[in-house]
Amino acid sequence: MNKSSKATVLVAEDEESLRETLKLNLELEGYEVTTADTGPAALKVVKNEYFDLIVLDIMLPEIDGLTICETIRMQHNDVPILFLSARNSGADRVEGLKKGGDDYLTKPFNLEELLLRVNKLITKNKKIKEPQAVADFYEFSGCKIDFAAHECVGKNGLKQELSKKEAALLKLLIEHEGEVVSREQILQIVWGYNVYPTTRTIDNFILNFRKYFEADTRNPVHFHSIRGIGYKFTAN
Amino acid sequence: MNKSSKATVLVAEDEESLRETLKLNLELEGYEVTTADTGPAALKVVKNEYFDLIVLDIMLPEIDGLTICETIRMQHNDVPILFLSARNSGADRVEGLKKGGDDYLTKPFNLEELLLRVNKLITKNKKIKEPQAVADFYEFSGCKIDFAAHECVGKNGLKQELSKKEAALLKLLIEHEGEVVSREQILQIVWGYNVYPTTRTIDNFILNFRKYFEADTRNPVHFHSIRGIGYKFTAN
DNA sequence: TTAGAATGTAACAGAACTGTCATATCAAAG
DNA sequence: CTTTGATATGACAGTTCTGTTACATTCTAA
């Protein structure tokens, strides 16, 4: 996770005043906040964007929070979820945690407490995801990359300078060698903001990498595009 | 953490009946439970033994729970701590979380809820300590599937990329190995809550899987169709 | 046995996504 | 204030994926 990039939070809450209060306060805490006011709206953004945490009201229009949570978990998304609920019956709370929620607060809640819990959930989850750093120097099938010097030697043996973003993206892909990295993840980590859907920016960087490192740019061996998902780097 | 060894929990609570109730119930859940009835006693065992979780009453004789928590954290011990308190003032809860507690319950609490939270804290912490233990990889009778890389190796030994939907459906079926997954379930999970494709779509995906993974597509061994219900994946 | 329903199969078309390039924007350096 | 290199955007073409349709085949129940 890039230090400069903010953690992202989705607030799914139908009552406007509370929604805006949460948004404002979370932003003051330094989070990037997206909001949704109905169940379907929440599901839609979750599908399209990456979040570090979801604050989810149990009672939402159209599709309720518990169902939302269940759906999200069924789609193998293990983003932390913090439930909000007006009800305070034990049964309800148990229900929330069982469905895969990570924490639970009942309204009315203390704002400071919410912020603390949010922070706790986010840092905890990040710890898990923090990938092991790659050394400053990396080599694969005849190509060399020196992250410290911001330069590389490509297939043709030519030395090539790497720009900041090029280096960051390259590092990200190499850290996940053999795995697909989604566009959302890339934007989140390298760029530090949420999705701008019609951007061809990432493609252009990949294009460059292929020029530097691929013998045949049309049939990439190292920089694969996985349609609908993202890109994958393979060492050999 | 060794699978065969139980997770260990320290219950620091001065009221005897509650302490014993907790001990009993946690042991029934399969935890190894140690108890302490005063602040100093709790600090002492924490110093000498390893725990996966501490259940800590805020009001303890001699040294209160918040101070205990602070002391433990100062010793760079990040064992999860679940606070118990009779008070329900927001300030108090905030205090607990600030001092480094991981969760908070107010008495009287629902026992099942406590057990769920205990379980959540313990598993969460383990995840951090065993990074990536569960590989996103599956193998059955000569075929290999790598969900992280979005690719598979089929019966013929050929590598094959998996598209988004293919991967999602495959994962679903494999997770339910040996069970029938209904068409409705498939639609709900793979396609989402309201974008149902109409007719022969699922069949076509199954068709592909059979091409990839079955020696004889006419007599499938792995991807069975259960008439009137759905599909079933069998490993061998 | 046979009608009716569910599934298998393949071809096709529209949608969605990516590759590529030309151009715009921006910030830092000169 | 200009230059320059890096990055972002938009257009468009090319590609792949996915859902649909049509028809064949298999199964089930009457």
Q: Which residue is nearest to nucleotide D27 (CA to C1')?
A: B227
pLDDT above 80 (res A48): no
Give the nearest chain B residue to A97 (CA atoms): B116
* B57 contact partners, CB below 8 Å, separation of at least 6: B12, B13, B14, B15, B65, B83, B84, B85
Mean pLDDT in runs of 10 for chain B (236 residues)? 65 92 91 90 84 90 85 81 75 70 79 86 72 64 87 84 90 87 84 70 92 87 89 88
The answer to whether some atom of strand C lies closer than 7 Å to the beta carbon of A228 is yes
B73 touches chain A (CB under 8 A): no
Chain A segment 33-52 residues within 8 A of B by beta carbon are 40, 43, 47
* B138 contact partners, CB below 8 Å, separation of at least 6: B144, B145, B147, B174
Lowest mean pLDDT among A18-22, A77-81, B32-36: A77-81
Can you tell me the distance from the alpha carbon of B234 to that of B236, in angstroms, rounded to the nearest whole number? 6
Residues of B in contact with A232 (CB under 8 A): 149-150
Predicted confidence at residue B55, as pLDDT, reads 94
- This prediction's pTM: 0.74
Model pLDDT for residues B28-79, shown as the tens digit of each residue: 888 989 999 988 888 888 877 888 899 999 888 888 888 888 888 887 778 8
CATH class (in words) of the domain with range A8-129: alpha beta
Residue A1's pLDDT band (boundaries 50, 70, 90)?
Answer: very low
Can you tell me the distance from the alpha carbon of A64 to that of A74, in angstroms, rounded to the nearest whole number? 16
Average pLDDT over all residues of chain A: 81
pLDDT above 50 (res A4): no
The CA–CA distances, whole Å, from A198 to A53, A180, A183, A195, B227 equal 25, 20, 12, 9, 42
Q: Residue B176 is inside which H or E element, if any?
A: none
Q: Which residue, among A93, A98, A132, A184, would best test binding to B if mutated, counting the most B CBs under 10 Å from its CB?
A: A93
A179 touches chain B (CB under 8 A): yes
Test B149 with A40 for CB contact under 8 angstroms: no
Test B90 with A75 for CB contact under 8 angstroms: no
Residue A146's pLDDT band (boundaries 50, 70, 90)?
Answer: confident
pLDDT above 80 (res A124): no
Beta strand B230-233 pairing with B223-226: antiparallel
Can you tell me the distance from the alpha carbon of A110 to that of A47, in angstroms, rounded to the nearest whole number? 30
Distance B136 CA to D6 C1' (A): 37
Distance B39 CA to D1 C1' (A): 71
B127 touches chain A (CB under 8 A): yes
DSSP B92: H
B103 touches chain A (CB under 8 A): yes
Sequence-distant contacts of B65-68: CB under 8 A, at least 24 apart:
B65/B12, B65/B39, B65/B96, B66/B95, B66/B96, B66/B99, B67/B39, B68/B12, B68/B39, B68/B42, B68/B43
Residues of A in contact with B163 (CB under 8 A): 227-228
Residue A81's pLDDT band (boundaries 50, 70, 90)?
Answer: very high
Q: Which residue among A97, A178, A180 places its CB closest to the CB of B120? A: A97
The answer to whether some atom of strand D lies closer than 7 Å to the beta carbon of B192 is no
CATH code of the domain occupying A137-233: 1.10.10.10
pLDDT above 70 (res A195): no
Looking across all nucleic acid strands, the nucleotide with the smallest C1' to CA distance from residue A224 is: C18
The residues facing A8 across adjacent strands are A32
Of A233, A130, A236, A126, the closest CA to residue A180 belongs to A233
Within 13 A of A161's CA, how many CA atoms are on the CB side? Answer: 2
DSSP B195: -
Judge contact between A42 and A12, C-beta under 8 A.
yes
Test A124 with B128 for CB contact under 8 angstroms: yes
Residue B151: left if φ>0, alpha if ψ -120 to 50, beta else—which one? beta
Judge contact between B82 and A62, C-beta under 8 A.
no
Residues of A in contact with B168 (CB under 8 A): 75
The answer to whether some atom of strand C lies closer than 7 Å to the beta carbon of B183 is yes
Judge contact between B137 and B146, C-beta under 8 A.
yes
The answer to whether some atom of strand D lies closer than 7 Å to the beta carbon of A231 is no
Question: Is the pLDDT higher at B88 or at A148?
Answer: A148
Can you tell me the distance from the alpha carbon of B109 to that of A89, in angstroms, rounded to the nearest whole number? 10
Predicted confidence at residue A82, as pLDDT, reads 92
B182 touches chain A (CB under 8 A): no
pLDDT above 60 (res A197): no
Can you tell me the distance from the alpha carbon of A220 to that of A230, in angstroms, rounded to the nearest whole number? 15
The residues facing A149 across adjacent strands are none
* B223 contact partners, CB below 8 Å, separation of at least 6: B173, B206, B209, B210, B213, B214, B231, B232, B233
Where along chain A do its domains lie? 8-129, 137-233
CA dihedral (B199, B194, A228, A236) in degrees, to 10, reads -80
Q: Write the DSSP assignment of B64-86 as a string of letters.
A: -HHHHHHHHHHTT----EEEEES
Beta strand A230-233 pairing with A223-226: antiparallel
Predicted confidence at residue B128, as pLDDT, reads 61
User: Do A137-233 and A8-129 fall under one CATH topology?
Assistant: no
Predicted confidence at residue A2, as pLDDT, reads 37
Residues of A in contact with B136 (CB under 8 A): 179
Can you tell me the distance from the alpha carbon of A203 to that of A154, in angstroms, rounded to the nearest whole number? 19
Q: Which residue, among B73, B107, B112, B130, would best test binding to A if mutated, counting the most A CBs under 10 Å from its CB?
A: B112
Which two three-digit tokens encode residue A3? Answer: 């230090």
B126 touches chain A (CB under 8 A): no
Can you tell me the distance from the alpha carbon of A167 to that of A138, in angstroms, rounded to the nearest whole number? 12
- Strand, coil or helix: B35: strand
B111 touches chain A (CB under 8 A): no
* B19 contact partners, CB below 8 Å, separation of at least 6: B11, B13, B35, B37
Q: Which residue among A97, A120, A224 places its CB closest to the CB of B117? A: A97
Can you tell me the distance from the alpha carbon of B90 to that of B88, in angstroms, rounded to the nearest whole number? 6
Q: Which residue among B91, B149, B164 places its CB closest to the CB of A179? A: B149
Can you tell me the distance from the alpha carbon of B45 to that of A48, in angstroms, rounded to the nearest whole number? 48
Q: What angle do CA A70, B133, B232 make, to 5 degrees?
A: 50
